[in-house]
Every structure is written in C-alpha cells, then in structure tokens.
A and B are shown apart, each in its own frame.
Chain A
Amino acid sequence: MSFFRTENIYKSYANHVALRDVSIEVEQGSVFGLLGPNGAGKTSLIRIINQITAPDKGQVILNGKPLSASDIRKIGYLPEERGLYKKMKVGEQAIYLAQLKGLSKTEAIKKLKYWFEKFEIIPWWDKKVEELSKGMQQKIQFIVTILHEPELLIFDEPFSGFDPINANLLKSEILALKEKGATIIFSTHNMDSVEEICDDIALINNSRKILSGSMKEVKQKFKTNRYEIAFNGDINGLELSLRHQYKILENKKEDDKTLLKLELVDPQLTSNNLIQSLLPIGDMISFNELIPSMNDIFIQVVQDNKKEGENE
C-alpha cells in the first residue's frame, strides 16, 4: 500500500487541459521524481496535491484516506515560484509562515532556533528579507518549508537559484529528511539531480503520464546493450574476430589506446560472453556498459511522445 497516490486526476483550465488521467504512487520514505518539460502539467498536479486547486475528476489519497483540509499540516511545499515579504524581518516572517502551517508561536521559535543554528544564520534573524542575497533567501525558504516536520514534502525545482555549494547542502538535507522517514516528491527538469536522489519517477508530458517506475526499471527499460572498451596499444584484426557476433559502432585509435564501441545484437549474449570474446584479443584496460542517462531517456521519451502525437 503506497503512502501517497493520485487516482486518475483530470484538470482543465479555461483555455487548456492541464492533466489527463494522471495517477502516481509514492512509497513511504522514498524520493519520487516528478519529471516533465515546462508546461507539461507538473505544477498543476502539485497544486492539486497542496489543495490550492481542486481536480475536475479523480482523487488524492494520503495515508489511505482522501486528502482533507487538516492534511495541510502534514505537507510541506517549496514552490518553484517562491518568495518572501521583502520588507518583513526574517525571524518574524518565518514565525508567521510557521503559524500559518499550524505551529504555535513558541514551537515555531524553538524549531527555528535549531535550524538557524544548524545553517549558521542566526545573525539574519532581525534583518529584512530585502537585505539578503537570493541564495540566503532560498535557505530561509527551505527552513520554512520543512519546519513543521511534514510527512510529505514537495520540492518544485528546489535547486534553482542555489550556488553549487548550497545546492549540495540542500541535497544532503533532503536525503537526511528521507532517512528520517519523510516522503518526498521532487519535481524538476534537472536530470542530473534526479539520478542522484530519486528512487522512483514519473514523466509527465502534454498533460499525460507517459513513463513511470523505479529508477532501476526505467533504466533497464531503456538499456541499449552497448559497451565501450579500451585496449592498450594498437590492435589489428579486431573487426574481423568480433563482427560475427557483435555490431561494431566505432573503432578508433587514440594516442596509444584503441577505443571500441559495440552493441550486443543477440539477446542471448551477456556481458560475460562479450568479455570472454574480448580477452584473447589484447590487453584490455577498461570495460563499460553504456547506460543511458536520465537526460537521454527524458529527451528520447518526450520526442517519441511528440512524434506519436503528430502521427495520431
């Protein structure tokens, strides 16, 4: 039984359809990547999960029950379009936002103190938000999102606006939250971070879910059975000995190395068979399976989807 799921969500606005029959399932304590190009419908789905808007059809289930107003406290949301009151002091503002989530003032102050100390930003407490840099504001925003210790966290493009150091800090905090048992929905089109963080993903394009599953499954599905091999020195007669069983894609000499790219054509063959065939040829120095990156998969799936759409 999944901790959180949406069932056949439909949503249309005055001018366009945002979501068509979108169902996702998120396991407790996992990080779920909600992927898709701009305008695919990710933000619409997230707004529905946050009860900012209601779906036209379908429902959202949290912990086995349909979502209700009291669940607001259980959810923490870092929107893509985010900001703070510029003229308000950092501390005051953080308390205000925490109170709106349902924390009492004393609770809020206690928790804020902890996080401000952890991030070493105590001196900011009485500063106005407009005096802080964009990155500093993002940190405050992050603290405010997780302060009430929500069971479900939703991060929409969390790394935008962070420098690499702070992005790393954020990444480790997100993983730490996962360790503590929080369930995380992570929406982005930055595929590198998806590979590092996510357990499962769903890809939304053109208001429909077009791909979903665990990271492993997805990668498996898009495996191309391609390998890259390097030999020491010049190897002659390479193609002659391999071309019967394998499709050779590339064969080039670089400095004192020979680089080879090939694909397994026969589904019966495994990488072990390949290595066996390679060993007699020469002095092998590396052997890699070419696994498609999430980025490649993303681009491929979206483009295929586009073609299908055109063919329809």
Chain B
Amino acid sequence: MSKIGIIIKREYLTRVVKKSFIIMTIIGPILMAALMIAPAYLAKMDDENVKEILVIDQTDAFSKYRLNNSYLTNYRLKKDSVPFDSTKMLIRRLPDSEKMKFHFLDKDMNLKEGKELLKKEQFYALLFIPKNLVIQPLLSLYSKKESNRNIISYVRSKLEEEITNQKLKAKGVDPEILSTTKTELEIATKIIQDDGQEKDSFTSVTMILSFAGGFLIYMFIFMYGSQVMRGVIEEKTSRIIEVIISSVKPFELMMGKIVGVAMVGLTQFVLWIILTFGIVTAVSFVMVDQSDLLVSTQSSSIMSHNQASSISSTSTPEDSEKMNAFVQQIDKFINSVNWVLILGSFVFYFLGGYLLYAALFAAIGSAVDAEADTQQFMMPITIPLILGLVMMQTVLDNPDGSLAFWGSIIPLTSPIIMMARIPFGVPVIELILSMGLLILAFIFFTWLSGKIYRVGILMYGKKVDYKELWKWIRHH
C-alpha cells in the first residue's frame, strides 16, 4: 500500500469506530424520518380541547345577540358552575371554529369584571373589543397563559374582514356582491419535456428537495471540514507531526487526511440514505395498514350502530381517502424526480465543495496552536458558506435568475446553490461549467493550502496573522 493509502486508512478507521460517528449515523436518519412523518402525526395529535373565549364587545358590531344580564347575576350567585346556554350563543360575525368557542358578554360590562370572570372560571382568554375599533384598530386579548397564535390570527382575520365589510358598506358597496366576485384559482403545473411528454411538476415538494440538498451540502462541508481542521491541530499539539513528516511529505499527510475524512462523510451519507429509506418505508407500511384497518372498522361499524360514534371520532373514511391520495401523490413525485442525477450531483458537489473547503480548513489548523485561535481565520471560510445558504432562499424562488446562475457558477458557493437548483432542472452546459470551475478551484485552493500547511505545521508557539500567512505562501 502506498504511504498516502496508509494515511487514508488510518484517518478513516479511527473516525468510523468513534462513538460520535455511530450515534450521528443512527440519529440522523431517525431525525430525517421524523421530519418526514411527524407533520402527519402532529396534525392528528393536536390539542383537541375547545378553547372557550370570553368577548366583551363594546362596538356591538360582532354580536347581534348577547347574553342577558341574568347570566352575570347568575354567575355572581353560583360561583361554582356557570351554566352556559348555548342556544343563546347566536350567529355572529365572529363564529366559533372547531377549536374555539366565543362567549359574548354584556357590552356594558367593564373590562375589570371580564377579567374577574376569566380568572375564576375555566375560560381560556378574554377578548376586549373597544368601542372605537373602526377608527383605532386595537384589540386586547387577555389570557392566563401565553396567547395561542391560532387564536390571534383567527380573531384578527375575522375582525379585519368584518371591519373591511363595514367600511365597504359605509361607502355603499354591498359586501354580498363582493363575496360573490371572489375567485380562487388553482394552477396545475406541468412540465413539457424535450420529448414532448408532459409531466406533473411538484413545485413545493421540489423546493423542499432543493433546500434539503443545499442544506446537506452546507452541513457536510462544515462538519467534515472542521474535522479535518481538528485533526491537523491534534497532530500539531500532540507533536506527532514531526515524526510523521520525516516519513511522508506534508502534502501527502494533508491529502491523506482530507481524503480519509471525505470517505467518512460518504459512508455516513450512504448509511443515512439507506437507513432513512428503511425507516420511512417501514413506518409508511404501518400507516397504510392502519388506514386500511380504519376503513374496514368503519364499514363494520355501520352494522353495529352503538360503536360507530366512538370510532368515527378518531377517523373517517374521508381521512383514509385523503391519506391514500397523499401517498399516491408522493409516489408520483418520487417517480417524477431524476434521482440518479440528484444523488450523483450531490456526491459530486459534496466531494468538490468539501475538498475545496477542507484544504482551507487544513491550512487554518496548521497555522494555529489551539482550536481557540482559529477564530480570525475562520471568517473567510464561513462567510461564503453562509452566504450560499442565505442566497439559497432567493434561488428557490427564482431558480433561473442571475443570482442563481452566478451563485451556482462561482466555486465558493456553487456546491450549495447548484444543489438547490438541480431539482428544478439546470441546462447541461451550466452544469458542466460549474463542475469544471469547481474542480479548478479545488486544485488551486489545495495548492495554496499546501503551501501554508507545510510551514504552519512546524511553527509552534507563534501568533500568526494574515501577513505571516502571505509570507509563507511567497517565501517557501
């Protein structure tokens, strides 16, 4: 085995047997699978409690009817139980939703009394609508705990609508007419391929895929780049470096470390893909089985009436139909994506981006005596990487814009940006240009880092600045 092979082998083996590697390899896919599956479950497990909300409406605009005063006296007499007569809760413009129930109090009741009531009884919140709401649109919501965002946004949207309506009415526009003119459009997006075939496009899911690709590249470069840096610092501080470079060239040692760590990264990536795929498949099997089961219980429950109510409260046939449709949609999406291209270019851009940055990380590690001293040199590395991540947001909105183009051509950001663009489709010529430049840049930065590295590793106890680094590059 060549010497560089021996180095790669050591760097690889010492890392893959580490506990942290094994833990990350197992936890990663669980997290990813959880991210994919959790939303579905969370929606189901959401708080089922209906929130009871008191309303003092001084404008009288939102409630046509109110509880009469007897309620209040009643309440004052019988503190323990407050009988709400739901028949008296009449149609209002602040209608109850699935999760919220609004109880309108007497408009003459003052805020203080309302608060008392909120404090003593099982109400979730108190909404106070002041008289001059139309002129000065400010409401107050009092609650015992931090206010629930759903309630805030629900109340806001309903009341905004109502105020708009009232203003329209005042100007002589009938809101009824306006509502009939409201139109909601849905756009079915299709892509016409070169061979003339149409295929469904999945913009939102593609965006998730793009983001995941770009973000993973970012994360991998940082994670494994800093592993290289730490490895170099370890060799320097433990003083084994001089023993080793009397046997191998500094450049061989640097490249051996970089390649060894790259292989660790690839191993982790492949394991993540396999494990994530395994977990998602296993879980979705279980989920599909459950929904099948629900459909069958549903049909059987028609026969046994007394059980029907209890079962329909957990799931309806509609639910499982929705679920099936969703699964089908995902199937369609999975089939529509060019996975070979995406995974292939992921591996390329991970390696290219990593090699480029890892060389720089190695140079930094060689120039310092301890990890704490790396700060000043980390800036030029972290800025383009973070810039790439920030630019990615814009690129996702407009994957063919000039920002996207340049971001995916310039080698410092191209691994992240190009990965984000690929799921949307990128002209082959741009892909080749980007890849070619990345290779050139990686060769250049490796050469540059090698120059810094071979001087740096033998410098002990010296505070190094950029000027010093420049000298190393020029003089040695």
Contacts and interface: CB of A to CB of B under 8 A. Distances in A.
Q: How large is the interface on B (under 10, 10 to 19, 20 to 34, 35 or more residues)?
A: 20 to 34
A180 B212 CA distance: 64
A267 to B, nearest CB: 49
A87 B460 CA distance: 22
B245 interface: yes
Interface string B238-249: 111011111110
Interface in A33-88: 47, 50-53, 72, 75, 77, 79, 81-88
Nearest to A12: B475
A165 interface: no
Contact of B472 (A14, A79, A82): A14
B247 A97 contact: yes
Interface string B1-31: 1010011001000100000000000000000
B234 interface: yes
B311 interface: no
A101 B248 CA distance: 8
Nearest to A129: B238
Interface in B213-237: 234-235
A52 B242 contact: yes
Contact of A77 (B240, B246, B250): B246
A75 B468 CA distance: 32
Nearest to B256: A100
A77 B248 CA distance: 13
B475 A13 contact: yes
A144 B246 contact: no
A99 B242 contact: no
B475 A14 contact: yes
B463 interface: no
Given A72-B246, A79-B246, A141-B243, A85 B458 contact: no
A100 B460 CA distance: 24
Given A14-B471, A14-B475, A88-B14, A101 B242 contact: no
A124 interface: no
A49 to B, nearest CB: 9
Contacts of A53: 458
Contacts of B242: 52, 77, 79, 81-82
A125 interface: no
A96 interface: yes
B6 A96 contact: yes
Interface residues of A, number: 28
A52 B246 contact: yes
Contacts of A52: 242, 245-246, 250, 458
A84 B234 CA distance: 10
B72 to A, nearest CB: 74
Contacts of B245: 52
A83 B244 contact: no
Nearest to A97: B243
Contacts of A85: 14, 234-235, 238, 240
A81 B247 contact: no
Nearest to A15: B471
B290 to A, nearest CB: 47
A51 B245 CA distance: 9
Contact of B239 (A50, A51, A82): A82
B461 to A, nearest CB: 10
B244 A100 contact: yes
Given A83-B239, A83-B240, A50 B460 contact: no
Contacts of A77: 242-243, 246
Interface in B428-476: 458, 460, 468, 471-472, 475-476
A218 to B, nearest CB: 29
Given A79-B243, A100-B244, A47 B6 contact: no
Given A14-B475, A85-B234, A47 B243 contact: no
B6 A99 contact: yes
Nearest to A76: B246
Given A81-B460, A85-B234, A96 B10 contact: yes
Nearest to A81: B239
B243 A82 contact: yes
A30 B350 CA distance: 54
Given A13-B475, A52-B458, A81-B460, A100 B238 contact: no
B203 to A, nearest CB: 48
A75 B246 contact: yes
Nearest to B235: A85
Contacts of B476: 14
A45 to B, nearest CB: 14
A181 to B, nearest CB: 21
Given A14-B471, A14-B475, A50-B246, A87 B14 contact: yes
Contacts of B10: 96
B318 to A, nearest CB: 58
A77 B242 CA distance: 9
A120 to B, nearest CB: 23
Contacts of A141: 243
A86 B238 contact: yes
Contacts of B14: 85, 87-88
B283 to A, nearest CB: 37
A75 B245 CA distance: 12
A96 B248 CA distance: 12
A14 B472 CA distance: 7
Contacts of B471: 14-15
Nearest to A47: B458
Contacts of A84: 238, 240, 243
26 contacts: A14-B468, A14-B471, A14-B472, A14-B475, A52-B246, A52-B458, A72-B246, A77-B242, A77-B243, A81-B242, A82-B242, A83-B239, A83-B243, A84-B243, A85-B14, A85-B235, A86-B238, A96-B10, A97-B243, A97-B244, A100-B6, A100-B7, A100-B247, A101-B247, A102-B3, A102-B247
Given A15-B471, A77-B242, A87-B14, 19 more contacts: A14-B472, A47-B458, A79-B242, A79-B246, A81-B239, A82-B242, A83-B238, A83-B240, A83-B243, A86-B234, A86-B238, A88-B14, A100-B6, A100-B244, A100-B247, A100-B248, A101-B247, A102-B247, A141-B243
Interface of A: 13-15, 47, 50-53, 72, 75, 77, 79, 81-88, 96-97, 99-102, 141, 144
Q: Which 5 A-B pairs have the closest CB atoms?
A: A83-B239, A100-B247, A79-B242, A83-B238, A14-B471
